[in-house]
Structures are given as structure tokens and as C-alpha cells.
Structure 1
Amino acid sequence: MMRFAAALIALSIAAPAHALDLSGWLDFSSHAENIDPIRPVVSEIVQDRGSDARWIPGVVASRTQVTMAFQTLGRMVSRPVDLGDRVRQGDVLANLAAEDLAATTRAAEAALAAAEVQRDTARLTLERTQALVARNVASAAQLEQAQRAATAAEAGAEQARSALVQARDAQGYARMTAPFAGVVSAVYEAPGSVLGAGTPVLQLSAENRREAVIDLPESALASLPDRAVFTVWQRMDPDRQMRAVLDRIDPVADAATRTRRLYLTLPPDAPFRLGSLVRARLGTASEPALMLSAAAIFRRDGAPHVWRVLRDDGSARVEAVPITPAGDFHDRVLIQDGLAPGDEVVVRGVNSLSDGQPVGPRVRP
């Protein structure tokens, strides 16, 4: 063994340097330069913002609500409907005492008859005065007086005729009927009350267009797009959820709570009765409310994009995905289209990536 080691040393001393050139074996610098390191990415998982959001209390109301009142004064003698009753168009809702209105009509008829007699008498007087003036028996002053009396009598008869028309109309207003099919949602007066014209008696609400009414603070409205979609359900039946669409927002905030009222249109087959308490949240199972950091968005050809991470069998790469933003909320963006819950999106260094570029493990932002 000692002889073999000594021979190897002697060979290394005697051999030329280039014969034992091991630089090609031991130089790893060129290989290291060609390897592109796979960097980790700072990303977030897209989630349905509405699924974890707290529900918002609301109440079911009608889009069409009418306060019913009599068009004439009188004493209400009957109200055959009560709170919560469903009525059809033309159904009687309340009645006034017909005797008082009938007496008023008879008095108006008598007043018209007297006014017509006075008118006819004034006409005859004017004709006689004109004949006397033609024979120089009556003076011009008497003729003017007869003309004035005839004109006043004509006006009095016309006034009495109008009063009779009003009395007959008032007699017809003694019966209150439903202008459309709906439900009695409020009652203000009971039978026996003496009412003036226009005094509210009850409220009638149509059932064909129902809404869920909720209140939100001003800060929460910034991220709501037009026609935002909500999920509405009742506490006692959480599995029966309905899709509701934002219809309108009150332009003025409530002075006490500083909240704005939102009206969500419910489908015609919604099982909620008027006045029912409901719960609402933004988004639905098929139309989730996806929120994303604004730093994840970059523009390509003028259109907003994000980098979605595709992971498969331990490898990962990024791809550019076009998105449709629906609104901003501070440093977050509501995504309307382009992503789905569970997608991994890069939120840092978006301007230094390219399509198909491999990436490393995920780092939380």
C-alpha cells in the first residue's frame, strides 16, 4: 500500500499539468449561473367575502304602498278588513255613514231648485224692464238693475248646480274600495271615528313586488356595484335562501344613525310575507362577493389583470387572468368576473412576472 501511494505521488510530479487538468470537473460556476432560482410568491387565496360576513337585519316591504283615505268628511260606520287581510281589486275597505251624505245631497238639490226659480224670475223681470224701457216707461237705471239681478241669479244657479255635483260625488265617496290587489299592512282609524277629508284610514300594500329593506353605513356603500346581488333568508329557515338584487339606495342618510337605506328586489316566488324579518348578506353561492387586494391588479393593453398561481404535483407557475372590477373599498377591490373562490393570486411584485414563469411556495402577505 505504501508503495502504491509513493508511485502515485511520483506520477503526479512527473506528469504534465495539462494531463491532470481537473478544472472541467471541479468548475461549477458556469452551471450555477445558468440556473434561474425559483422564488416564493406573496399571494392570497380569493374568498367569498359575503360568506363570512355578518348578516344584515332587514324587513320585507312592498314596492307599492298606498295610504287609503276618504275624499270627503263623515263618520266611518264600518271597516270590514283588518291588519294582515288580503284583498282583491274592488273589494270594500271601509264605509262612511250614508245618511248624512244623502241629507247633504238633498239639501243641495233643494238649493239648486231655489236658485233656478230666482234665475227664472230675474230673467222675466229683465224682459219686462226691457219692454218698459222700449216704451219709455222704465228708466235706464231700472234696466241696469234688472240686468245685474239676472246676472247674479244666473251665477247663483250655477253655484248651486256645482254644489249639487260635489254633494253627489261625496255621496259616491262614502265607500272605499281597493285600487289593486294586496294586503292591509297598517290600520289607523276604527269604526265610529269622525274623519275629515284625507284622514288616513289604512295602508294597502301590493304583494306582486316585494323588497327587502336594509340599512348600511356610508363606508360600506363604496364597494357596492350597481345591481349588487344579495342573499336573503329568515332566521327560522336558513336553508331557504333567496337571491335579491339591489334596486335603489336612499339619497340621504338617516340623521340619527347616519345609515343609508337599501332596497333589494325579491323574486316573485319569495316565501316571505310583508313585514317579515329577514337577514341579508352580500353575494350568493353562484355569484360570490370576491374581494382582492388592489396591489394584485396590473394592466395589460389597458385592461386589468391579475397573476393567478397554478400549482400541480409540487410545481407552480403563474398565468395572467383578465378581471372585471366592480368597485373599490379602501385598499380592496370587489371582483365581478374573472376569478373564483379558492384561486391563489399574487399580490406582491406583479410587475416582475411573466406568463408561465415558475414560482415557489406561497408566502402570506
Structure 2
Amino acid sequence: MDVEEASAPKEGKPVLVILAGAPGSGKSTFCEEVIRVSTRPWVRICQDTVGNGKAGNKAHCLSSATGALKDGKSVFIDRCNLDREQRSEFIKLGGGPQIDVHAVGGKAAAVVNRMLQHKELPKLSEGFSRITFCQNESDVKNALNTYSTLGPLDSLPHGCFGQKNPDSKIQLGIMMFLKKAEVPVAAASRESGIEDPTSQTLGKNNSCCKDKETLSSIPDNANSEMKEVESQAVGSAGSHANQVSPDDIPTLVFPSISTSDFQFNHEKAADIIFEKVAEFSNKFRNARLVLIDFSHKSKILSLVKAKVAGKNIDTHKFFTHVGDITHLYSRGGLRCNVIANVANW
């Protein structure tokens, strides 16, 4: 990390960091980790808790952020901030040289996600002095270290960091998951002499991936990783096909959208999730989906479970889970191959 030490002023400038990312992408965890170890005074502004621990609205967030900045504290704006309009009013809070306005975010799986089809990545022209793109886990760790070690008198270099390919929409992890889920079906079909439609090019025929981009959009090094996954999957589809344990089944976990950033019809949302799960289950026979939320009281979990009950959905292919999606591996429990950035509906 390149930190520019402020030699002249006795007090450093507050930093306003606007986090950009879908629900479940780790924004809150990022804030908590930085605040836990940083010597700089930080305040996290989250719309879910801004009203004295209860959900508020954008106006509450703006008011709280303004007050914290006036007190000389640095601020995290923990909202989705997926487009320029959502970010604009918060950027205005940093107008002038007294406050640095940063953005930290990553690319999500727009190729399999309706909500992110029109996502606008942050640009310096919006008024940011610094933008950090996190493409992978290593980038996230670096960003955490950067802000965790940013002292009260320090400042960060301006510019755009970590943006490798601004036009790419494919999240490699999910594409590898879909490929892995597909291969055993194709292998089994070849052994029986029956051609399965899912063995064709994923980008052309998979209704879960209606984006115009195909697998040819993925970098060369990604293709080699996919071949390795494919090789492993074909091997598991052979003589040991009937001995597969639940932990060996390709599993994609996706979070419920429970944040107050989005006001939506829960019944309709549950219908869409159910429809997509049914579609996925019919297409990929060797894979499973898991919908996760923090609480047993989750309305979305209850609605989806009610819709699945009595329907022709294999409970080994789809089920719900209560827990923190950002700590599935570190805290044990459910094992998965891919954690989606946001619910795939």
C-alpha cells in the first residue's frame, strides 16, 4: 500500500468510502473488519440499521453521514450503490478538498443475474478521487489491508486501481460451476448413447445465461482451469457415480435479498426464485442450489419453502439454509463450490 503521509496539517482529512456491490457481496463484513483494527475513527452507515438500529431510508443515511463527517470521522456508505444515481448524493457530501471520496467494489455475476444487467461501475468522472476494484479474494484482502492500516493523518494516492477488463461481465467461479454441473450429465449420456442437449455450448443454450457473451469471452487461463474441473467431473461420473456424497455434489449458494436498499414484492420475488430453481433443476441433474439467509424468521425463506413444498422439486437439488454466507467455510457447516454475489433471479 502506498500511503502519503500528511506532514503539514495536524489533522488528517476524513475519507468517505462508498461501497458498491450487490446484497451478500461482503460490504458489511468489509466495514466491520476495517473498523475492528483501524486506528482511524470510522462510522458505518447502513440503511438497514440507520434508524436507531432499525431500517431507515436514503435521507437518514445522508443525514448520519453528514454528521459523522462534520465530527471529523471517516465514513463507509454500506448500500448497494450499483449505479450513478444511487451514488450521486453521497458523492456530493465530499464536495471540496476537505474530504476524500473513494469507491470500493467488485464485479458481480451480471451474466446470470437480472438485477445487475444495468449495473454502472464507478468512474472517476463522478467525483471520486480514488476507485478500487476487487476482482478476486486477493484484491479484497489488499483493500482490507489498505483501509485497515490507513492512519488518522494518512491519505491514499488518487486514481483507479484494479480494473482489468471493464467490459467483462462473466464471473469465472459461477461459469466453472455451471460447466462442472453440466459435464457429468454429458458423460453419462455418451455412455448410454443418448445425446443430451446440455452437452452443447453453455453460452448458446443455457437459459440461465442469456447474456450474449459465450465461453469464448473467458480468458485463456480460465479455460485451462475449466478443463481441469471438467476432467475431475468426468472422472467422478464414472464407476463411482452411485457413491457420490453430498459434499461432492457441485453446489451453488445464493443469498436472499433482504436489504432495505430494495423495496420489492416478496411474493413475486419468491415466485421468480422458485421458477428459476425449477428451470435449473431440470437442466442440470448433477448440481444443487441453496438459498441462504441470516434468520429462521426470513420472509423470503419461508415463502420459497412454502412454494417448493408439494411441488416436483428434488430436495437434494434445492434447499434453504440459515447462516452467514460470508462465513460458510471459516465457521464450518454447509460446503459449496460457488458463493453467488446475489440471488440469481
TM-score by length of 1: 0.18
Choose between structure 1 and 2: higher helix proportion.
2
TM-score by length of 2: 0.18
Give the structure with the higher percent strand: 1
Higher relative CO (Cα under 8 Å, sequence separation at least 6) belongs to: 1
